[in-house]
Amino acid sequence: MSQSRILDLVKTQCRIFSLNFNPQRLRLGNKILRQRLRGPTLAAWYPKKTVSFRDLQNTYKPLGLTTFDEAEDDREEAIQIAKLRGKGRPKKKRTAAESRSAKKKK
Amino acid sequence: MSKVASMFHPKRLDLSGFVNTRLIRDHNKRNAFAQMEPERQALRYIIRNTSLPQRTRAQAQLQLSQMHCYTRPTQIKNRCVASGTARSVFRNFRLNRFQFRMQALAGELPGVKKASW
């Protein structure tokens, strides 16, 4: 087979399989275009957020349904007890003047 | 493009399970890379294509090197999903060797059995 026949064959092959016909073997960077995108698989490494109890609460509250969260209940109770003992959180300072006076006391 | 990493922070954390700052940072890098990957690949194609004018290729090189470091795949590090550790993480289980051992001994990893012969 002659050289030109082989070239024609390769050209047809490239056309059929939608490959890049490059007999001079130039560096055209087509291997970059052939690569698959790795982003989606890399971004899926850590487990995504699923439905939490808080989400259920938020969806059912407007419908008038009450939910009971034991951990949240315990937390609020502990806060109430701390307040009674005078160990609650200090009141939030809203203005600059308030925060300044609070510092002076010390 | 500003060079602030906070532009890749999501408004609300979309992760469950173990979370710490370094893990969130890595997660943000992964999202940033996934978002900018087509652009990076396009620039890489221009750089590698020797049939394009030298000036265009140099410009593409500059543009690629000036992209935010969070969009670089080399910034991504596989961290343990259960403890956030970055060392000796099994890719197949996404777990650190110690977490892997604990979970395997507890029977939480299907098909994993302690070798004995």
- Which pLDDT tens digit goes with each residue over A1-33? 788 999 999 999 999 998 888 888 899 999 999
Contact A33 B41 (CB under 8 A): yes
In a domain, A78, yes or no: yes
Number of H helices, E strands in chain B: 3, 2
B35 contact partners, CB below 8 Å, separation of at least 6: A39, B71
In a domain, A104, yes or no: no
In a domain, A41, yes or no: no
Closest alpha carbon within chain B to A31: B45
Same domain, A56 and A84: yes
Nearest to B50 among A26, A32, A37 (CB): A26
- Please give the C-alpha separations between residue B67 and each of A36, A40, B30, in angstroms, as whole numbers: 21, 20, 15
In a domain, A18, yes or no: yes
d(CA A72, CA A56): 14
DSSP, res B95: E
Decide: B114 and B105 in contact? Cβ < 8 Å: yes
d(CA B5, CA B31): 12
Name all domains of chain B by residue range, CATH numbers in brackets. Answer: 19-76 (no CATH), 78-117 (4.10.830.10)
pLDDT per residue of chain B (117 residues) written in tens, 0 to 9: 567 888 888 888 888 889 999 999 999 999 999 999 999 999 999 999 999 999 999 999 999 999 999 999 999 999 999 999 999 999 999 999 999 999 999 999 999 999 998
Rounded to two decimals, the ipTM of the complex is 0.85
In a domain, A23, yes or no: yes
Contact A47 B73 (CB under 8 A): no
Domain count, chain A: 2
Contact A32 B44 (CB under 8 A): yes
For residue A78, what are the domain limits? 51-88
In a domain, A72, yes or no: yes
Contact A42 B34 (CB under 8 A): yes
State residue B107's pLDDT score.
93
